[in-house]
Amino acid sequence: MANIVGVIGGTGLGELVDGGATRDVSTPFGPAIVTVGELGTRPIAFLPRHGAGHTIAPHRVNARANLWALASLGVRAVVSTAAVGSLRPAFPTESFALADQLVDRTFGRADTYFDAGLVRHLPFAEPFCPVLRSLSIAELPDAAPRATVAVIQGPRFSTAAESRILRDAGVDLVNMTLCPEVALAAEIGIGTVAICLVTDTDSGTSADDPDAVTAELVFRRLAEAKPRIVAAIERIVTSVPDDYEPRALIDGEAVAALRALPVVR
């Protein structure tokens, strides 16, 4: 499984791998459900971020278990999808964007592996892997190549004032799940890239904006875009070179210690 690529699917993606083997992977942080199979010509490990049937709220996603499970299966690269709301006309609804920056507005989430005994400090100026982002930009030329994403706590959506504050701060898109997922991946030695689908205009551009966010609108836009999302994932996944190595942002000794933690059964 040395060349397996991880795929973390967001809302509405459902099961990505037909006929794959679904595993309940035990980790030091609890269980994670992963389906191992193929997408195109590449073996993948698919993890539904919100569980089967969208049963896990954004602030309850066990990101530490999810990333540890993928690392235990040999994953070195993760392609994730995320539903996002747009704060700017440059990111129209139903378009793709490739995130390059994150603003973490979450709280109370287990957001690091290095919080007791073994302490490391992750350099995180560039959250996403430059190699994977370059590959993704080449494979998805119609996607916006850069976007700053604010990750809010959820599960509620933003107020108009919150949207305005984020827009004034230079944020482009709003999401609920990319933090702490991307940082945890980096801590455990996995490179990431995120395909963002713009589903709405967050709190809306006016009182009667038809693209103002509702759960129903998000689910509908994701369902309509599912073939495009799957095709985008497949293009990126199959472009990851067999000899891909993620950035060494944490020393190898600490990463090895994380991966050697005893699992909870």
Per-residue pLDDT tens over the stretch 123-180: 999 999 999 999 999 999 999 999 999 999 999 999 999 999 999 999 999 999 999 9
Domain count, the chain: 1
Neighbours of 226 (CB within 10 A): 15
122: how many CB neighbours lie within 10 A of its CB?
14
> pLDDT tens digits, residue range 218-265?
999 999 999 999 999 999 999 999 999 999 999 999 999 999 999 987
The 10 Å Cβ neighbour count of residue 24 is: 9
Residue 12: pLDDT over 70: no
Task: Compute the distance between CA of residue 13 and CA of residue 16 in angstroms, rounded to an integer.
Answer: 7
User: Would you list the DSSP string of 204-262?
Assistant: -SSTT-TTS--HHHHHHHHHHHHHHHHHHHHHHHHHS-TT------S-HHHHHHHHTSP
Half-sphere exposure of 231 (CA within 13 A, CB side): 6
* Active-site annotation holder among 100, 104, 172, 202: 202
Smallest CA-to-CA distance from 133 within 118, 144, 122 is with 144
Position 13 confidence tier, pLDDT thresholds 50, 70, 90: low
On whether residue 265 sits in a domain, the answer given is no
For residue 12, tell me if it sits in a domain: yes
CATH number, residue 227? 3.40.50.1580
Q: How far apart are CA 217 and CA 177, in angstroms?
A: 18
202 catalytic residue (yes or no): yes
Q: Look at residue 264 and tell me if it is in a domain.
A: no
Give catalytic status of residue 211 as yes or no: no
The torsion angles phi and psi of 218, rounded to 5 degrees, stand at: -60, -50
Which helix (H) or strand (E) segment is 180 a member of?
helix 178-187
Q: Which of 200, 208, 243, 251 is catalytic?
A: 200
Question: Residue 217: pLDDT band by 50, 70, 90 thresholds?
Answer: very high
Residue with tokens 């499984």: 1
Cα 247 from Cα 235, distance rounded (Å): 22
Which domain range does residue 163 map to? 5-259
pLDDT of residue 1: 44
Would 13 be classed as within a structural domain?
A: yes
58-113 pLDDT, tens digit each: 999 999 999 999 999 999 999 999 999 999 999 999 999 999 999 999 999 999 99
Count the helix, strand and coil residues of the chain and give each as a percent rounded to the nearest 5: 30, 25, 45
Residue 19 predicted with pLDDT over 90: no
| Within-domain flag for 200 | yes
Residue 104 belongs to a domain: yes
Q: Return the pLDDT at 70.
A: 97
Q: What is the pLDDT of residue 2?
A: 44
pLDDT score, position 264: 80
Task: Could you list the beta-strand ranges (E) of the chain.
Answer: 5-9, 21-25, 32-39, 42-48, 77-86, 96-98, 101-105, 148-152, 173-175, 191-200
End-to-end CA gap in the chain: 23
